[in-house]
Homo-oligomer: A and B are copies of this chain.
Amino acid sequence: VRVTLLAGGVGGARFALGLLDVVGAAAVTIVGNVGDDVELLGLHVSPDLDTCLYTLAGVVHPEQGWGVEGDTREALGVVGRLGGADWFILGDRDIGLHLVRTERLRRGEPLSRVMADVAARMGVGARLLPATDDRLRTRVLTDDGELGFQEWFVGRRAAPPVRRLRFAGTPGARPAPGVLQAIADADRVVLAPSNPFISLDPILAVDGVRAAVQARRADVVAVSPLIGPRAVKGPLGEMLDALGHERSPLGVARYLAPLAGRFVLDQADAGHADRIRALGVEPVTAAALMRDAAARRRLAEAALT
């Protein structure tokens, strides 16, 4: 069974681990978010892609969910002491990857080719595709003005309420080679338990991707990033409020209903099942908290049933 996963950061990466465990790495294509990419100190940083990469390579910091376990911050310490921008954490091993990626991008290689090569060298068996090789950046409109995504998320700790999101570079950002085909050819398309507004929407905003997913709606399953009113990680709860959606798995299911024919939600949220079914979406209840490998595996199995 071939699976294509649309994924953002930590939740998506952890779900991908379970998926690989169930169907094998060779059967999985991950289409990753690049809307949170950022240029820092001249480096091209791809936080969501790297979270997937580090997670699948088995080197991710286990508690943080991002960054390399045991990484040091010597370079960033010097940057700070010399008056450079050190508000975004870059580990030394991180920087090694960023240096290689940035140099290759500057020479004109597409991001998808660089990431494929890096993933292979790190022993990642699944295919990890950026949604686009073109420049696409999530911009956050707040009462303090429009901010770059990382400027809002890290720089402002996601505090200013989000009034609107836009994806600079869209329309016009073309899907990276293989993206549309991976969606069209998969036996199952999975929307990972990632924030729909800042992880999935920037993927779906790439030319042709939303239509490609919609065309597969019967085989598309979304996995709830919320348990009850709370996101396992990240600012989704507050964003649902701020953007006028119900702060519950039902709110997310309603938002994703045009794309996904099935919706996996936590057992604790089974009370929402009937109302989800009323949206024309088949609810699937499972244990949604991915606390260990067994839990990740069971959640992936539930998504694929």
Contact = CB atoms under 8 A, between A and B. Distances in A.
A258 interface: no
Contact of A100 (B83, B106, B117, B122): B83
A100 B79 CA distance: 6
A171 interface: no
Nearest to A106: B42
A-B pairs, 4 with minimum CB distance? A78-B96, A74-B92, A75-B96, A84-B100
Interface string A55-94: 0000000000000000110111111011110000001110
A155 B121 CA distance: 24
A97 B78 contact: yes
Could you tell me the dominant secondary structure of chain A's interface residues? Answer: helix
Interface residues of A, number: 30
A99 interface: yes
A81 B68 CA distance: 15
A180 interface: no
Contacts of A122: 81-82
5 contacts: A74-B74, A75-B92, A81-B96, A82-B96, A92-B95
Contacts of A75: 75, 92-93, 95-96, 99
Nearest to A72: B74
B42 A82 contact: no
B77 A42 contact: no
Contacts of A97: 78, 82
Nearest to A71: B74
A78 B67 CA distance: 13
Given A41-B103, A79-B100, A81-B121, 19 more contacts: A41-B100, A42-B102, A42-B103, A71-B74, A72-B92, A74-B91, A74-B93, A74-B96, A75-B75, A75-B92, A76-B96, A77-B96, A78-B93, A81-B96, A81-B122, A82-B118, A84-B100, A92-B92, A92-B95
Interface of A: 41-43, 71-72, 74-79, 81-84, 91-93, 95-97, 99-100, 102-103, 106, 117-118, 121-122
A106 B92 CA distance: 22
A192 B284 CA distance: 77
B72 A84 contact: no
A78 B84 CA distance: 23
B117 A83 contact: yes
A93 to B, nearest CB: 5
A71 B75 CA distance: 10
Contacts of A74: 71-72, 74, 91-93, 96
Contacts of A117: 82-83
